Structure 1
Amino acid sequence: MTTETVRAEDGATVHVRLHRRPEEPSAPVLVCMPAMGTRAVSYTPLAEALVAAGFQVALGELRGQGTSSVRVRRGVRYGYHEMVTYDYPALFRAVAAAFPGAPRHLLGHSLGGQLGTLYLSREPHMAAGAILVGAPSCHWRGWPFPRSLGMLAGFQLAALFASVYGYFPGRRIKVLGNDSAQILRDMATQVRTGRYDVPSSPVDFEPWLAKLDLPVLAVTVRGDNMAPPGGVRGLSDKLTSARVTHWELVLGDGTRGSRHYGWIRDNAGLVERVRTFVDRA
């Protein structure tokens, strides 16, 4: 494993972990993007399993998390716009340069998958396909009642609180991680409207999503309350030009913690399914 510093156009940097197969430099590369509030290093067990299965892996980082040079605090503002316009393009260009001749696939978890899909809707030539794991549209109607009302109210209150506090102190209140108030505002808007037309971005991504023509594997994890089937379909149903395959991942009874994250370690089933998907893409 090597580490490369990737610099976005606006100057923000992250350290990207590159897991290579020197004996097979043309092996497919999976560009892994984490969930909200989750550091890239948490996905190391998954990366190691994917390399053992014949893949190469680039572990990216969301802005404001882990190795990102952007530190979440009062006065620091970034949202979907900065991540989709600056961070994802810089990452994919760096991966293309680091793995010349190797096909690239997005492997996005939750918010990392959502933002990766927005990025690829504008630059589909940068990937051969996308695997979206527990990556829902956050529209409140994708959750069963009464959890749907909790989603709607909870995110509006979280966005308001973050705006007043200056940022979202997720680690302190033990809900996700620390994040920019603008991220919460963008997410709250998408929760309310169901549309990827958010305050931080001048781009309405809805028509771009409808034109995305790539093979997509949309993975629902059984028992994942943070990304239920209705939410996952809420995102994949926007991809009307894509070749979408839906698949449910069933984790073992011994899987620890939340189903939204348990697959990162209990990954054998997913790795096998990803192998089949990439081979057919």
Structure 2
Amino acid sequence: MPLVNSFFNILINTYLIFVCMHTNSKDRATPGESIYVQVGEQRLHLMRICGNEQGAPVFMVHGSIENGGIFYSDSGKGLAPWLASRGFDVFVTDLRGRGKSTPKVDAGADWGLREILEQDFPAMLQEIVKLRGTVPQHWVGHSWGGVMALAYLGRWQTPAPVASLSFFGTKRRLATWNLKKMVMVDGAWSSMGEALTRLYGYLPAQKWKMGSDDESARSYRETHKWVVEKEWLDPRDGFDYAKALKQQALPPALYLTGADDKVLGNAVDVHRLIQETGVDQENQLIVAGKQSGFRHNYGHINLLTHPDAPKDVFPVLEEWLRQHS
């Protein structure tokens, strides 16, 4: 019975995490300027929240099954408005089909990670350059957004220098095993996700309370491939991203993850990503928990959304950005 109760509690907690993701990250009106960038049939949304037109530009990328709302709310809360209040010029992307980007993801969305990297990233970065010139940029990613940022750096040229990288709960491969991971990843994400994708022709994460936004079939399957496979290879041509990243001098990188993030940003998996991308550059891993002097043991989502995050977590990022500006 204790094992059954434990399993039941994990199922309930998993559901609550998905609901939390859906609640805290959904698309809303916001205190900033909406910029739209056309890439073929895709109309990409870039939210600019500017605290100082001469401030250091910060480019923010959300993760899988979410949108840019993870970084801001209509009431002015979130990491993006907080950094803007400190004098930074913040640009938050909605990757294609997500947030205010259109067309929305549906069964006809025939694109995957390669299109996002090869087409959308350069278009959005070039838009920032058009507004700010080639001022060095800081890149911030949450969860899978950090993986996408690293993949882009591994293969494509940036239109402006990247001064630093900062990642919240970012890992590439989920290799750590625990019961919660078995339920959330092996069960909900892998088995249920594939079944839903086959049924609908895309992953309807919003409908099923799995996240704040949907994923195309290719994007979901290619993400899943990178999550479970040891090698980090391009799904189209086999390009080895890990090998390419190790051969580069990457910008200094800050990896922040929560002490209570046991699955999606497990510190062991985060450290594995650091090793995978090379250790020659400056890397710093911080586990946000009581043992490290933080007020709470943070999780995957509330690392950005907890009411105490602006006083407890965000200043760590601000200090890092100023050190590398």
Matches within 5 A, 1:144-183: 144-150=177-183, 151-152=185-186, 154-157=188-191, 158-159=193-194, 161-176=196-211, 177-183=213-219
For 1:71 and 1:118, the matched residues in 2 are separated by 24
- Structure 1 segments, 4+ long, off by >6 Å, are none
Aligned letter for 1:247? I
Q: Aligned in 2, Cα 1:155/1:147: closer, same or farther, shift over 3 Å?
A: same
Contact 2:138 2:164 in 1 (8 A): yes
Query: CA shift at 1:35, angstroms?
Result: 2.1
Is residue 285 of structure 2 the alignment partner of residue 246 of structure 1? Answer: yes
Structure 2 counterpart of 1:260, one-letter code: H
- Could you tell me how far apart the structure 1 residues matched to 2:267 and 2:70 are? 24
Q: Which residue of 1 aligns with 2:93?
A: 60
| 2-structure distance, mates of 1:98, 1:35 | 25
Report the Cα distance in structure 1 between the residues aligned to 2:310 and 2:206, rounded to whole angstroms. Answer: 26
* Identity rate, percent: 19
CA–CA distance in structure 1, aligned partners of residues 268 and 282 of structure 2: 19
Distance 1:194 1:163, change over 3 A: farther
Q: How far 1:190 sits from its partner (Å)?
A: 1.6
For the pair shown, the structure with the greater C-alpha radius of gyration is: 2
Contact 1:29 1:104 (8 Å CA) reproduced: yes
1:41 aligned to 2:41?
no
For structure 2, the residue ranges without an aligned partner over 5 or more in a row are: 1-31, 73-77
1:62 Cα deviation after fit? 1.8
Q: Which moved more, 1:161-170 or 1:56-65?
A: 161-170
Within the alignment, does 1:118 sit opposite 2:151 as a pair?
yes
Per-residue deviation at 1:263? 2.7
Alpha-carbon shift at residue 166 of structure 1 (Å): 0.6
**Counterparts in 2 of 1:112 and 1:66: CA distance versus 1, 3 Å:** same
Q: Structure 1: 5+ residue runs without aligned partners? A: none
Q: Which is worse superposed, 90-99 or 106-115?
A: 90-99
State how far apart, in whole Å, the 2-side matches of 1:18 and 1:280 are.
Answer: 23
**1:264 corresponds to:** 304
The match for 2:117 is 84
Count of aligned pairs between the two proteins = 273
Match of 1:13 among 43, 52, 61: 43
Distance 2:237 2:44 in 1: 22
Return the alpha-carbon distance in structure 2 between the equivalents of residues 267 and 212 of structure 1. 33
* Aligned with residue 209 of structure 1, among 215, 235, 245: 245
Letter in 2 for 1:262: N
- TM-score (normalizing by structure 2): 0.76
Deviations 1:62-96 (A, max 9, x none): 22211111321112122110111111111111112
Counterparts in 2 of 1:11 and 1:204: CA distance versus 1, 3 Å:
farther
Deviations 1:38-76 (A, max 9, x none): 232342221111012221100111222111113211121
Q: Who is 1:224 aligned against? A: 261
1:81 and 1:201 in contact (8 A); partners too: no
| Inter-partner Cα distance in structure 2 for 1:104 and 1:154 | 36
**C-alpha distance in structure 2 between counterparts of 1:195 and 1:268, whole Å:** 38
Cα distance, 1:202 vs structure 2: 5.0
**Distance apart, 1:155 and its partner CA:** 4.2
Q: What is the alpha-carbon distance in structure 2 between the residues aligned to residue 96 and residue 33 of structure 1?
A: 17
Structure 2 residue 323 is matched with structure 1 residue 280 = yes
- Structure 1, residues 192-215: CA drift from partner, whole Å, max 9, x if none? 213321425653312222134211
**2:135/2:161 contact within 8 Å kept:** no
Question: Quick one: which amino acid aligns to residue 304 of structure 2?
Answer: I
